Each structure stands twice: as C-alpha cells, then as structure tokens.
C-alpha cells in the first residue's frame, strides 16, 4: 500500500509507492562523455583565455593569475543570469513587481583534471572546493544588496550541466528564493512551537532509529529523508546546530569532505555514476539571524522525471522506499 509522508520542515506531502517499488537496477543512469578534443573545453588548464578573468584561485606558488598552475579556480559566468553592476531599482508595473537583475553568478572550476569528479577526488582537494564555496559566500555577503547566496552543482547533461569538466556554480540573489522561504517558514513554525530546531530533532531521531542513516561521522550525518521526494535523494547535515555555512570551521571542512566523498561514492556505485544536482541550503545574508534554521546539503540523482501530477499539485510520487534506499547504500563496500 502507498503511504503519504509529511516533511516535518516544510509540511510538504510526498507519496511513497510501495506496490511496485523501483530498485537500483531499474534506474538507468545517464553518463556524460567528455569532448573528444579537450582543447575546446574552456575549463582546461591552458585555456584560461576562454573564461573571464579569474576572481580567485588556489594555485602553485609563483604562478600568475589566468594562467596554468591552479587546482581550484573561480571565474565569472560568461553568460550570467544576474550581474553585479547597477542598482536593484524595485518598482511596480500595475499589480506586478519588478526589479533589475542584480546579483552575481560565478563558476567554481573544481579541478584541472577533466575526469576528476568529487566522488574520486582526494579528500584534501574536496576540502579545498568546500572551503572555496565558504570563502565566496563570505565575500559575496559583504554586498549589502544581496539576500541569499546559493551554491549548486549540476553533474551530467540530464542534471543541467553544459560542460563535462567538473565545476559548480555560485549565485548571489537580491531576494530569498521561494523554496528557501518555504523551508525557513517551516523551521520557524516548529521552533516557535517547541523552542527547538526541527533539523536538530530530525538528526536526533534518525540517529536513534538508524534505518535511514547512510554515513555517520563525529560531526556530520548523511540521511535519506523520511519524506524522500526523488529516488535516492540524500541529505548531509552537521550534527551541531548552525544556520550559516559561512561559519564552517577549517577542521570541520576536512571531515565534511570525507562524508561528502563517501556519500557520492555510494550513489555512484549504486546508480552507475548518475547525473545529479547538489545544492547547499544555508541561511540568508544581510538579514536578521535565523536560529531556527540549520544548513545542509541536498543531493538529487537525476534518474526519474516529474510529470503533470507533480507540477500540477506540488505532490511528489517517489517509487523508491526511503528505508530500502538507505539500506542499499549502506551495504555498498567502499
């Protein structure tokens, strides 16, 4: 029999279908092949001239900006969705609200190696990527026009990646996105009612139950959400309460790199290197603190499509059972 499961944070309902549950073998992954000639890839070392001038980079001592010698490089998006220059200029057009497309849109080139995705990088290199995200969030938050800084990674064409070379993106927005507002509102409602963080309670219950736990380190945990929206959706959360990823410590970044790598390795082995989206949920910037919130990563393998029912109702139908998903991922030998 199917179940309706309610997300305790947003109040969103998800339909879990158990009559014909899909197994990992039923979920065909889509691989993205690198271009035959890497000289055409703008993210390759030696091709720095094909990107806008770099914002920052981790590079070998003595090497110069916009030349080879880097191992993580941040550049502006050549075709940005939002631009830093200008004023927000909020205005009305009758009943409609308008503002200029002010923000920032950056590309984090995660490695000079075209084939080295996060799941196979050394942990020390993943830590450098995580710390680059951290530093860019702090820097962009200095601009008082911005209200939210989003970090996301699209791996594979089906997940929205235009280039195969490993990279992630950072966008600073002048407004808090609707889905983030929804999550913030749900967390605040829970906090006002119980005087506790809903994410902290979620972590405590999952650690006690353990059926949906995938990774469990000293300071981080990977779980399959109870109301999992998509097949093999996973979350990584810090065990200690913190709303702002910008407050991540250097030591914790090292531990987080190991948890992230192991999580991605499990998903890769389970689903034959699937395309996926990875999104960082963190507190808004330049607004009042939000003690009710708790930063975390959400990972969505792109192995199923949403249809008219999901788009028309806001319900999600997930043909995999969260407890079985977690068990399958735990059983993978790394």
> Domains in the chain, ordered, with CATH?
3-80+98-330 (3.30.428.10)
What is the model's pLDDT at position 9?
Answer: 78
CA distance 104 to 174: 9
What is the model's pLDDT at position 18?
Answer: 59
Q: Which of 105, 125, 167, 296 is catalytic?
A: 167
CA distance 27 to 164: 21
Reply yes or no on whether 167 is catalytic: yes
pTM of the model: 0.91
The answer to whether residues 127 and 257 touch, using CB atoms and an 8 Å cutoff, is: yes
What is the model's pLDDT at position 12?
Answer: 65
What is the model's pLDDT at position 122?
Answer: 97
Q: Read off the tokens for 70.
A: 């880097």
What is the model's pLDDT at position 98?
Answer: 79
What is the model's pLDDT at position 3?
Answer: 65
Show Cβ contacts of residue 224 under 8 Å, excluding neighbours closer than 6 positions. 212, 214, 232, 233, 234, 235, 322, 323, 325, 326, 329
Sheet containing 316-318: order of strands: 3-6, 13-16, 316-318
- Cα distances (angstroms) measured from residue 26 to each of 79, 158, 320, 323: 37, 17, 10, 17
Nearest to 199 by CA among 216, 182, 217, 186: 186
Nearest to 164 by CA among 231, 94, 115: 115
What is the model's pLDDT at position 120?
Answer: 96
According to DSSP, the residues that pair with 299 across neighbouring strands are 234, 278
Helix, strand, coil share (%) of the chain residues, nearest 5:
30, 25, 50
The gap between the terminal CA atoms of the chain, to the nearest Å, is: 34
Nearest to 270 by CA among 22, 21, 24, 23: 24
CA distance 241 to 12: 23
What is the model's pLDDT at position 11?
Answer: 74
CA distance 199 to 194: 12
The answer to whether residues 300 and 267 touch, using CB atoms and an 8 Å cutoff, is: no
Q: What is the pLDDT along the chain (334 residues), one digit of tens a residue?
A: 556 677 787 776 666 665 555 566 555 554 445 455 688 899 999 999 999 999 999 999 999 999 999 999 999 999 888 888 888 888 887 888 878 888 899 999 999 999 899 999 999 999 999 999 999 999 999 999 999 999 999 999 889 898 999 999 999 998 898 889 999 999 999 999 999 999 999 999 999 999 999 999 999 999 999 999 999 999 999 999 999 999 999 999 999 999 999 999 999 999 999 999 999 999 999 999 899 999 999 999 998 887 787 878 878 888 899 999 999 999 999 9
């Amino acid at each position: 029999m199917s179940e309706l499961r309610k997300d305790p944070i947003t109040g969103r309902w998800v339909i879990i279908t158990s009559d014909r549950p899909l197994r990992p073998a039923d979920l065909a992954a889509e691989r993205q092949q690198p271009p035959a000639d890497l000289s055409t890839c703008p993210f390759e070392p030696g091709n720095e001239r094909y990107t806008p001038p770099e914002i920052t980079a981790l590079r070998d001592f003595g090497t110069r900006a916009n030349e080879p010698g880097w191992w993580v490089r941040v550049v502006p998006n050549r075709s940005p969705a939002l631009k830093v220059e200008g004023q927000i200029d909020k205005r009305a057009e009758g009943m409609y609200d308008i503002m200029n497309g002010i923000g920032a849109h950056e590309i984090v080139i995660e490695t000079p190696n075209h084939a080295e995705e996060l799941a196979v990088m050394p942990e020390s290199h993943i830590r450098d990527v995580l710390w680059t995200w951290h530093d860019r969030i702090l820097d962009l938050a200095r601009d008082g026009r911005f209200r939210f800084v989003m970090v996301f990674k699209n791996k594979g064409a089906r997940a929205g990646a235009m280039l195969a070379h490993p990279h992630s993106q950072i966008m600073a927005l002048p407004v808090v996105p609707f889905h983030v507002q929804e999550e913030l509102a749900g967390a605040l409602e829970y906090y006002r009612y119980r005087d506790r963080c809903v994410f902290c309670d979620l972590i405590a219950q999952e650690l006690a139950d353990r059926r949906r736990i995938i990774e469990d380190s000293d300071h981080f945990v990977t779980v399959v959400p109870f109301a999992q929206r998509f097949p093999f959706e996973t979350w990584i959360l810090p065990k200690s309460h913190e709303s702002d990823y910008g407050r991540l410590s250097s030591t914790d970044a090292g531990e987080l790199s190991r948890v992230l790598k192991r999580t991605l390795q499990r998903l890769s082995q389970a689903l034959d290197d699937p395309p996926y989206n990875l999104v960082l949920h963190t507190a808004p910037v330049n607004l009042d603190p939000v003690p009710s919130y708790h930063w975390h990563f959400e990972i969505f393998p792109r192995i199923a499509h949403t249809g008219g029912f999901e788009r028309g109702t806001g319900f999600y139908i997930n043909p995999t059972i969260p407890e079985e998903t977690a068990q399958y991922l735990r059983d993978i030998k790394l």
